[in-house]
Amino acid sequence: MKFPIFALSNAIAANAAALGARATYAVVGKPEGFASGTTGGGSATCAIPSSVAELKTWLTDSTARCIVLDKEYNFKGTEGTTTETGCRPASNTCPGNGGQDAINKASWCDNGNAGAGATKISVTYDTAGVSGINMGSNKSLIGVGSKGVLRGKGLRIANGAKNIIIQNIHITELNPQYIWGGDAITVDGADLVWVDHVKVSLIGRQMFVAGNGASNRVTLSNNEFDGSTSWSATCDGRHYWAIYLTGSQDLITMKGNYIHHTSGRSPKVGGNSLVHAVNNYWYSNTGHAFDNGAGGMVVAEGNVFQNVATPLLANSGQFFGSPSTSANAVCSSYLGHACQLNAFGSSGALGGTDTGFLTNFAGKSIASAATASSSIASTAGVGKI
């Protein structure tokens, strides 16, 4: 059978266009810091899942993959809803007017964490949001432009999963009206995880959490943690449960992240975690940015704190806040560069002069540092890569 020449030409052009478009799907850049060397799906051919079911299958299997999100994948309603007894915590002083109630996960409403005066109430939530998709090893999950959205379900990297890249996607709407409504990205008992140019918004609990198990080497870079919400645990339009880093001897690099409109735990550090927070931008935090608990070891350098009430709430661990040019020279021996000064605008003080723990950085992959700049706000997050 013969085909018209114009039909063949059109078919060839269409195939070439499709192949050309497919060839553009790839991870951009390489991770700095502790997760240096993460390759994700490696040379696996990039592919677009046809449905939320196929996306979940690809994310959880044992095959090395490059998974492309070129649209919104909406998990809301895919697992039904749950109605049960939860609580109105003492922190919700504005019920029905911007407060956040709670699901009774891990008996949180019963063990005193909800505060004196907490009352039992009925809560109804989307079931999919409270548990993340368990990712398998050797995955690259990347978005196209600003189109790649996970709505109603987060991601969990645990139980030995490793070598994972999550880049240029937006995770949103995990039961934001409820504490314990869902975590956007959880890492617990994993290794080599790079989260880059991701936006997180409208989350019930943590935007990023490193669980009790060793998460080993993690880099969070160029992400936007957007705490703007209509359901606030602090009743001020800002999210409290932002970034929780209390794993076992975790190595976590935070570089180039834009963390805004939060009111606490941005991050909470502990559990013998070693954290290098460099060139991040905290903006409009009515509570605290860092809360460094027992075992936490933090170097904070080259960051901007703008309109942050309390940059460092407490330091029960070890914290070096790059206090002066002369003091910052000590970093050269362990981080390979003199630490950069932090910058403050309408903010409290950072503090932190501990240096004994800097030996823990020796021999590890360390992110570079630049002068503090608020321009990060225009480069962090989805669609900016």
Enumerate the active-site residues.
Answer: 265
Contact 238, 259 (CB under 8 A): no
Q: State the Cα–Cα distance between residues 267 and 38, nearest whole angstrom.
A: 23
Q: Which of 312, 304, 270, 318 is nearest to 288 (CA)?
A: 312
Report the phi/psi class of residue 334: left, alpha or beta, with left for phi > 0 and alpha for psi in -120 to 50: alpha
| End-to-end alpha carbon distance in the chain | 47
Q: 3-class secondary structure for 157-197?
A: EECCCEEEEEECCEEEEECCCEECCCCCEEEECCEEEEEEC
Q: State the Cα–Cα distance between residues 255 and 195, nearest whole angstrom.
A: 11
**Which residue has tokens 């266009």?**
17
Q: State the Cα–Cα distance between residues 341 and 344, nearest whole angstrom.
A: 10
DSSP letter at 44? P
Contact 207, 257 (CB under 8 A): no
Q: Which of 177, 308, 178, 286 is nearest to 234 (CA)?
A: 286
* Residue 88 identity (one-letter amino acid): R
E strand residue ranges, 212-257 = 217-221, 224-226, 243-245, 251-255
Instruction: For strands 119-126 and 81-88, give the pairing.
Output: antiparallel
Question: Which pair of tokens denotes residue 4?
Answer: 């018209």
Q: State the Cα–Cα distance between residues 292 and 245, nearest whole angstrom.
A: 9
Residue 147 exposed, middle or buried by CB count within 10 Å (0-12, 13-18, 19+): middle
Q: State the Cα–Cα distance between residues 287 and 95, nearest whole angstrom.
A: 20
